[in-house]
């Protein structure tokens, strides 16, 4: 990973925003590595992602002269944060600033289907996903050997109709104990309560085995087959209180025909599910996603 930081911002659009942000970064001696922006003209909103280096230069002194990195110890992220906060307040801005050195702590939830969680763990082990995974949670035991192979603690939380609140209380306790920042539902076939979702706003990613908003619910491949569709899909999205209705992060499709049976749709859909979920998790970890309303901006 680069020694860098990422600034994500969204605010009401107005002239001169880019100049003000880039000027402040320049004053602090930042080297901008990548910048991307988007405007929603209908809502009058501005979105931007700026990635900048933390070790290639110093700040400017009061006369505009550069202070060497040896004098400053590199870019002072906390000093920039303190300077940026008043500007953000002035511009009515939502913003987040984080360094690449920070590895978010992620909990993986699954049920009986293991293709998505196995894919995520492989990508994590090979370094594709820049995070820590200190916890795997499941309402079944099928994943226990996979968790043991990767050396990750596993918690079995069986769910029945009469104990859902107790199970969620235990799960939230586990998330708190492990300082979890992102929850990934890798085919976790349980509906989370509004209380659970409220604890992790825009920080629970689900994969749904359908091209949402079509075929919501638990058996979308059966519904797609019954409807005779020619394309099936998968969707990764943030979880909200409304089932399968959260902001969509990524989708993909595969073409099918009248010859395909439900089992064929399920088999082909598994590849789509793996791809859209891993992309969504990676983009979240790379600080590339901004949510607004029930939509997302996903920066390149």
- Longest pairwise C-alpha distance within the chain: 74
Tell me the three state secondary structure of residue 110: strand
Q: Which two tokens stand for residue 293?
A: 């309303």
Start-end of H helices in the chain:
17-27, 69-72, 77-90, 115-125, 144-150, 164-177, 194-199, 220-227, 262-285
Query: For residue 216, what are the contacts with CB-CB under 8 A and spacing of at least 6?
Result: 208, 210, 243, 244, 245
Measured CA to CA, the distance from residue 39 to residue 80 in angstroms comes to 25
Q: What is the 3-state secondary structure (H, E, C) of 193-226?
A: CHHHHHHCCCCEEEEECCCCCCCCCCCHHHHHHH
Residues labelled as active-site residues: 244
Query: For residue 249, what are the contacts with CB-CB under 8 A and spacing of at least 6?
Result: 205, 236, 237, 238, 276, 279, 280, 283, 284, 289, 296, 298
DSSP 26-71: HHTT-EEEEEEEEEETTTTEEEEEEEEESSS---B-TTSPBPPHHH
- 266 touches 222 (CB < 8 A): no
């Amino acid at each position: 990973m680069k020694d860098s930081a990422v600034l994500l911002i969204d605010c009401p659009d107005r002239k001169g925003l880019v100049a003000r942000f880039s000027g402040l970064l320049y004053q602090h001696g930042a080297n901008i590595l990548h910048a991307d922006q988007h405007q929603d003209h209908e809502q009058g909103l501005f979105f931007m992602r700026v990635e900048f280096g933390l070790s290639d230069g110093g700040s400017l002194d009061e006369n505009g002269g550069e202070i060497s990195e040896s004098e400053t110890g590199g870019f002072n992220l906390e000093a920039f944060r303190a300077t940026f906060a008043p500007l953000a307040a002035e511009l009515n801005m939502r913003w987040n600033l984080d360094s690449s050195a920070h590895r978010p702590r992620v909990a993986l939830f699954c049920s009986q289907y293991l293709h998505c969680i196995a894919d995520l763990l492989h990508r994590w082990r090979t370094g594709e996903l820049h995070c820590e995974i200190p916890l795997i949670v499941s309402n079944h035991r099928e994943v226990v050997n996979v968790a043991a192979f990767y050396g990750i603690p596993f918690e079995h939380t069986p769910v029945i109709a009469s104990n859902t609140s107790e199970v969620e209380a235990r799960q939230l306790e586990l998330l708190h104990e492990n300082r979890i920042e992102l929850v990934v539902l890798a085919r976790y076939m349980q509906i989370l309560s509004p209380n659970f979702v409220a604890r992790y706003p825009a920080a629970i990613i689900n994969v749904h085995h359908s091209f949402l908003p079509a075929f919501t619910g638990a058996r979308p491949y059966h519904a797609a087959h019954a409807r005779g569709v020619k394309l099936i899909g998968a969707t990764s999205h943030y979880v909200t209180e409304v089932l399968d209705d959260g902001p969509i992060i990524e989708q993909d499709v595969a073409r099918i025909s009248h010859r395909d049976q439900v089992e064929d749709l399920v088999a082909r859909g598994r590849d789509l599910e793996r791809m859209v979920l891993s992309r969504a998790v990676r983009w979240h970890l790379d600080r590339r996603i901004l949510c607004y309303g029930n939509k997302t901006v996903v920066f390149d």
